[in-house]
């Protein structure tokens, strides 16, 4: 049986989208242990239409306090306190003991990536 197409919502933030399209952002942190698996993923937004494809290469489950410095920096955070403050925008109940899922991807592709590269 084939695994269904996975999706990750990306906030309607132009800088974040550019970072995804350019390959500078290749990781995301999500509250809770989620059943993402290596394979194709659609990175998209339902608020302001935007969509690209990528390939999940790694999924890790841990507690928020167990994030590594490399994971924090790869997701654009300066330190744990900045990360917690910014993550509260999406997950207001998140605390240091909250379970989280870290998803890494590569090979971002699609029309928006092609158009960005053509500029």
β-pairing, 50-63 vs 6-9, is unpaired
d(CA 35, CA 26): 18
pLDDT in tens, 36-65: 999 999 999 999 999 999 999 999 999 999
Contact 106, 55 (CB under 8 A): yes
pLDDT in tens, 63-86: 999 999 999 988 888 889 999 999
């Amino acid at each position: 049986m084939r695994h269904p197409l996975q999706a990750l919502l990306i906030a309607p933030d132009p800088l974040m989208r550019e970072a995804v399209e350019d390959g500078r952002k290749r990781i995301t942190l999500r509250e809770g242990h989620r059943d993402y698996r290596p394979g194709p993923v659609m990175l998209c937004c339902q608020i302001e239409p935007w969509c690209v494809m990528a390939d999940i290469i790694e999924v890790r489950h841990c507690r928020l306090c167990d994030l590594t410095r490399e994971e924090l920096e790869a997701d654009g955070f300066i330190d744990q306190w900045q990360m917690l403050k910014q993550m509260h925008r999406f997950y207001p109940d998140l605390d240091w003991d909250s379970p989280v899922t870290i998803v890494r991807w590569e090979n971002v592709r699609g029309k928006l990536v092609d158009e960005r590269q053509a500029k």
